[in-house]
Amino acid sequence: MGRILAIDYGQKRVGLAVTDPMQLIANSLDTVAAHDILSYISAYVAREQVDKFVVGLPKQMNGTNSESMQYIEPFVKKMREMFPAIELIYVDERFTSVLAHKTMLDGGLKKKDRQNKGLVDRISATIILQSYLETLR
């Protein structure tokens, strides 16, 4: 069994999270510059078995896609071309940034650490992945 890789795609940074090989636990992986993400994922897939990509789907409160989709759709298209054998699904990512900040507050992180946008992106990707894993159970 391979891992599930979650992607919180942003214009500048991409937060990544991954499961263990048994697909039970979501762990923060990394934050990568958006322009480097495809090469990062290629290298990761070359050394780790990945069964599925989970991409955060940004939705408005009324359920429509947010403006961010104009950046995410070309990325997803490229991912499907590069990795046709790996399933790619979208997962609603509403409130993940809010939950990430709450997680950092609850964890007692200092204000300076909570302002680390890369950390927020990684935690958001982990929340996206965890919510997906919960739908499987």
- CATH code for position 122: 3.30.420.140
Number of domains in the chain: 1
Burial class (CB in 10 A: 0-12, 13-18, 19+), 7: buried
Global pTM reads 0.84
pLDDT at 64: 66
pLDDT at 133: 93
Q: Is the pLDDT of residue 90 over 90?
A: yes
Question: Domain range spanning residue 84?
Answer: 3-136
Q: 68 or 127: which carries more pLDDT confidence?
A: 127
- Residue 127: name the closest of 106, 89, 105, 98 by CA: 98
pLDDT at 99: 55
What tens digit of pLDDT does each residue of 29-84 get?
999 999 999 999 999 999 999 999 999 887 666 666 667 778 999 999 999 999 99
The pair of structure tokens assigned to 54 is 């989970």
- Residue 55: name the closest of 71, 76, 70 by CA: 76
99-130 in b/e form (b: 16+ CB < 10 A) is bbeebbeeeeeeeeeeeeeebbbbbbbbbbbb
SS3 15: strand
Helix, strand, coil shares of the chain, percent, nearest 5, are 45, 30, 25
Name the band, by pLDDT with cuts 50, 70 and 90, for residue 124. Answer: confident
